[in-house]
Chain A
Amino acid sequence: MLFNSLRFLIFFPVVICVCFLLPAKLRQSWLLAASYFFYMCWNAKYALLLFFVTAVTYAVGLLIDCTDRFSWSEKSVIHVKKLCAATGIVLAMGALFFFKYIGFVVDSMNKLLALAHVQLSIPTFDVLLPVGVSFYTFQAMGYVADVYRGQPAERNFVRYALFVSFFPQLVAGPIERSKDLLCQLKELGPPRLDRLQNGVLLMLWGYFLKVVLADRIAVVVDTVYANPAAYGGWYIVVATILFAFQIYGDFAGYSTIAMGAAEVLGVRLTDNFDAPYLSRSVGEFWRRWHVSLGSWFRDNLYIPLGGNRKGKGRRYLNLMVVFLASGLWHGADWSFVAWGGLNGLYQIAGALTKPLRRRAMNVLGLRRDSLGHKVLQTLITFALVDFAWIFFRAESLSAALFVIRSMFTVHNPWVLFDGSLYRLGLDQKNFQLMVLCILLLLAVDWRKRAGVCTRRVIAGQDALARWLVFAVSVNLILLLGRWGIGYDPASFIYFQF
C-alpha cells in the first residue's frame, strides 16, 4: 500500500478514527493489526518474515536482559550477552542476506569463477525482495544492540512487535532508536488537535515532495537514463542534477509523510533530512541526509570499529567500511558499492586535502566565512554528491560508466537553450513548474537551516490563515501532482532497500 495511493487515503483515516475510539489499552494491538495489514498489502507471505525478525530479536532481547539475573561471573555474563546478541544479529542478518544479497553474491561468484576459467556454475535463487526488509531488520538489530549496551528489554510483545512494524515507518524508515519509539508507543495518548494539524501539514509537504516534485522530475530523468546513447552530454548533466532533487523529493517525501502520519497518532519520528543540499562538505551532507541510517551506522558499526579513536589511518579505513556497507545496504549491486565507496573516498580526500586547502585560502587571502566561499563550498559539495548519484541511478556499474563517458564525450550545450529539454517527457509549463518546485524546496531548506520551521510559522497564524493554507495546499497538490487516471502510482525509490 503506497502512501500516494487511494487505498492509503482510505486506510489511514480509518486507522486513526478507530485508534482514538478504542480504549487506550487496545490501541497498540489495533495499530499492530493495522501495520501487519499495511505490510501484507504488498505480499501477505512476507509478513511471516517480519514476524520472524520480530520474534527472534524480541527473544534475544529478553535473553540478554535476563543474563544479569544469574549469579555468573561478569566475564561469563558478557560472553553470554555477546553470544545472544550475535545470535540475534546473525539470524536477522541471515534473513536479510538470504532475501536481499544471496542472488548478488552467487552472481558475483559465478562471474569470478568464469573470469578464472573455472567451469562451475552455482545455481542462483530467484527471490522476491520483501519490501522494507533492510529498514525493519536494521531497526530490530539496533534494538538488540541497544539492549546489549544496557537498555532494558521490552517485555510486552505486542508493543515490541508494533515497534518493529509501526506502519508509518515500516517500509522506508526512518530507522528509529528503540528507546525513543518504544516509550512513545507505550504512552499513546488521546487525540490532540495541535498534533493532528502538525501531522497533516507534514503529510501535505511530503505529498508535495513526492507527487508534485519527485514524480514530475522522474519523467525527465527516466527518459534520459533509459537511453543514454541518445541523450548524451548536457542531457545527462541536466538529468543527473534533476535526479539529485528527485531522490531527495522522493525519500524526504516518504519520510515526511511517515513523520506526519506518526505525528497524527501522537508519535514523533526522527527527521531524516536536514537541508542536505545546502551542506558545505560531503561529511556534513551525510550528517543531514538519511539521518537515521547515518546514526545507526555510527552507533553500530563506526564506533564499534574504533571510530576516530585509533588514529587517522584507522579512521579512514573505518569510514570506507561504513560507506561501503552503506552502499551495499542500499542495493545488492556493485554500482551501489561504487556509490558508497565514492562517498567514502570524497570524505577521506577531503580530510587529506584540508590543510592544503586552508593554506591556499590563506595565501590567496580568502575568508572562509565569506558568502562567496560558502556558496562555492555548497556548489562543489552538490557537484560531488550529484556525480556519485550517477552510480545510484544507473541500472548497473557498466551502465553508470557508460553514462559518465557519454556525459563527457558528447558536446551539445545548445540543448539548454533550444527547447530540447521540453521534449524529454515534460512540456514547457510542466518543466517550468518543476524548476519552481525545486526553488521552493531549496527556499524552505534555506529557512530551515536558518532555524525557521515553515510549519511552525503556519501554525502560528490565526485559524482562517491556517485553514486557507490547508485548503490551498491540498488543492494545489491534487491539481499539480502526478497521480490519478493514466498514471501508475509511482513507488518510492527507497522501497527497494
Chain B
Amino acid sequence: MKKAIKTTLSLLIPLALTLAMLLGLSLLTEQKDSRYEYGPFLAQEEDFDVLFFGTSHMIYGVYPMELWQDYGIVSYNLAGHGIHIPTVYWVMKNALRQTKPKLVVVDCYLLEKQTKMFNNFSQVHQSLDVFPLTLTKVRTAFDLLDDAAFDAEFAGGADRTRTELGLLWNFAQYHNRWTELGQDDFSPKYTVEKGAESFNVDVAVPRTSQPTDAVLEETTGMEYLRRIVEDCQREDIDVLLVYLPFPPGETERMEANTARMIAAEYGVDFIDYLDSDVVDLNTDCYDYWSHLNPSGARKVTDHLGQYIRERYNIPDRRGDASYAGWYDDYVAYTEYKLDLLEEQTMLKNYLVLLQDKHLSACLYLAQSDLWFGPYRALLANIGIDTAALPAQGPALVLVDRLAGSVSVLQPGQEVDSGFGAFSLSQVEDGTYSVRVNGIDVLLADTDAVAGIVAMSNTDRALSTAAQFSSGPDGESKMTE
C-alpha cells in the first residue's frame, strides 16, 4: 500500500509541477489583446446588467463608461473586431457563463455573411482567448471551425492558424512569442473603457446610398442571430437588436431590414440607426466606409442610454456599494480621455473629442474663414452657432457644459461659469489668456490661428491647452 502511494505520488507530483509551469508559461506568452480588452469583464465579480455584442461598429460606437456616468448602467462592450454573427453568438455564450445580464444588445452588421468567421483568425482569438476552458468553449471551437462555406470560399488559402487546438489551448500558437516578450507581457495592461475603443479620432465625409426595402436571403448570420435571440429568451434575458449608424451601401441596408424582420419574428426591440438623426454622418464618422468617431459614439451611447432606461428595467447602480469600484474606473477613464485629447495634433480631431458632455472648452478662432469654412459643421457639432460669431475674426467662445451655455466673449469680459469665475483677457495684440478660478492659461499667441483650453467637468478643473497654426493638411498643433 505504501509503495503504491509512493509510486502514485512520484507520477502525480511531477505532472502537477509540469502543468503548473505550463499554465504560467501559457499566460506569459499569450497575445495580450484579448486580456487587455476583456480582462476587466472576467475580473468583475458582480453581474453586468447590459452586454453589448457585435463588430468594430459596436466597439467604436458604444461607450459603457459614459452609460455608467450618465445613467448608472453597468455594462460591458464585448464586441470583437471583424467577427461574424456566429462568432458573436459564441462570444455571448462564453460570456453568459460568467455573468447573467438583464439585457443583451446586438449590432447586426455582417448579418449577410454565410461564413462563421473572416479569414483572419487572430480576430477570433482576440474575442475568445480570454475565456476559460469550459465545455462551452470546446463547443465554440468545434462549431466555428465546422464551416463548409468557409472551406469553399477560402479553399487552400485559409489562415493556417485556424484550428480548434489553437482556440482551446492558445499556447500551441503563442509559445513562439518567447522572442518578443516585453513589459506588457509581464505586467499586463487592461482597458479603462470596458471593451470600447475611442482612440480612432478623425472625421471623414462618407458616401451615401438610397434606402431600400429588400431583405437578405437566408444566411448563416441570420441563423445564428435567431439562436442569439432564442438562447437569451430561454434564459430570460431581454434582447435589443440594433443596426448602428454608418454610411451604408445597399447590402447593409438589406441587413438592417433583415434584422428588423427577425426582431419582429421574436417580438424584440430593434433600433435602425441608419437613417435616424441621432448622428450626423458629416461630423461623426471616423473613416469613409464604416466606423463612428468618438463624437458619433457619444451620441449613439447617449441615445441608447435613454432608450434602455425607458424601455427596460435596468437599475441605476450609482450609489450601490457593490459597484463602488466603478467610480474609480470612471476617474481612470476620464484621465484616459484627457490624455487622448492631449495626444491629438489636428484641430479637427480636437473638435471631434470636444463633442463630449463632460468636457467644457474655451476657443479662440483667429479668422472667420475658419468658422464659415471647413470647421463650420464641427463647431456646430459642439454647440457653437457659427451664425452668431462675428463677421470677422477673432472669435472667442466659451462652451460651458456645466452651466449648459455657449457664449461669445469679448476680451476683458468676466463671466460666472460652471467652473467659477472665468475671465478672458488680451495680453497684447493677438495674444489672449483665460483665468479660471485664479489660474491663468495662455489661450493663443500671435502665431496661432486657433487655441483651445479644455476643462474637465468631472474634476471641475483646467485640463489641457493647445494652439494651432495653418499647415498643408489643415490646422495642426503648434509645438511648444
Interface segment among A55-63, A230-238, A464-472: the answer is: A464-472
B18 touches A480 (CB 8 A): no
B179 touches A430 (CB 8 A): yes
CB contact between B171 and one of A429, A470, A478 (< 8 Å): that residue: A478
| Interface band, chain A | 20 to 34
Contact flags B132-174 to A (C-beta < 8 A → 1, else 0): 0000000000000000000000000000110101100001110
A484 touches B173 (CB 8 A): yes
CB contact between A471 and one of B10, B17, B160 (< 8 Å): that residue: B17
Given contacts A485-B160, A485-B172, A485-B173, is CB(A467)–CB(B25) below 8 Å?
no
CB contact between B21 and one of A427, A429, A475, A484 (< 8 Å): that residue: A475
For the complex, is A49 an interface residue (Cβ under 8 Å from B)?
no
CB contact between A467 and one of B7, B17, B179 (< 8 Å): that residue: B17
A479 touches B178 (CB 8 A): yes
Contact flags A367-402 to B (C-beta < 8 A → 1, else 0): 000000000000000000000000000000000000
For the complex, is A463 an interface residue (Cβ under 8 Å from B)?
yes
Assembled-state Cα–Cα distance A481/B178 (Å): 11
| Interface band, chain B | 20 to 34
Assembled-state Cα–Cα distance A430/B178 (Å): 10
For the complex, is A128 an interface residue (Cβ under 8 Å from B)?
no
CB contact between B165 and one of A429, A474, A485 (< 8 Å): that residue: A485
Q: Which residues of A contact B165 (CB under 8 A)?
A: 6, 484-485
A193 touches B18 (CB 8 A): no
For the complex, is A486 an interface residue (Cβ under 8 Å from B)?
yes
Given contacts A427-B179, A485-B173, is CB(A475)–CB(B14) below 8 Å?
no
Given contacts A467-B17, A480-B178, is CB(A475)–CB(B173) below 8 Å?
no
Assembled-state Cα–Cα distance A475/B178 (Å): 12
Assembled-state Cα–Cα distance A483/B174 (Å): 11
Q: Which residues of A contact B160 (CB under 8 A)?
A: 485-486
Assembled-state Cα–Cα distance A458/B21 (Å): 20
Assembled-state Cα–Cα distance A57/B341 (Å): 83
Q: Which residues of A contact B14 (CB under 8 A)?
A: 466-467, 470-471
Contact flags B287-328 to A (C-beta < 8 A → 1, else 0): 000000000000000000000000000000000000000000
Q: Which residues of B contact A193 (CB under 8 A)?
A: 7, 10-11
Question: Which residue of chain A is the closest to B173 with respect to CB atoms?
Answer: A485
For the complex, is B226 an interface residue (Cβ under 8 Å from A)?
no
B186 CB to closest chain A CB (Å) equals 15
Q: Which residues of B contact A482 (CB under 8 A)?
A: 176
B276 CB to closest chain A CB (Å) equals 43
Assembled-state Cα–Cα distance A6/B172 (Å): 11
Q: Which residues of B contact A483 (CB under 8 A)?
A: 172
Assembled-state Cα–Cα distance A467/B178 (Å): 24
Contact flags B201-235 to A (C-beta < 8 A → 1, else 0): 00000000000000000000000000000000000
B interface residues (Cβ-Cβ under 8 A, vs A): 7, 10-11, 13-14, 17-18, 20-22, 25, 29, 160-161, 163, 165-166, 171-173, 175-176, 178-179
A interface residues (Cβ-Cβ under 8 A, vs B): 6, 193, 427, 429-430, 463, 466-468, 470-472, 474-475, 478-486
Q: Can you list 9 contacts pairing A with B, beta carbon distance less than 8 Å?
A: A475-B22, A479-B29, A480-B178, A481-B175, A484-B166, A484-B173, A485-B173, A486-B161, A486-B176
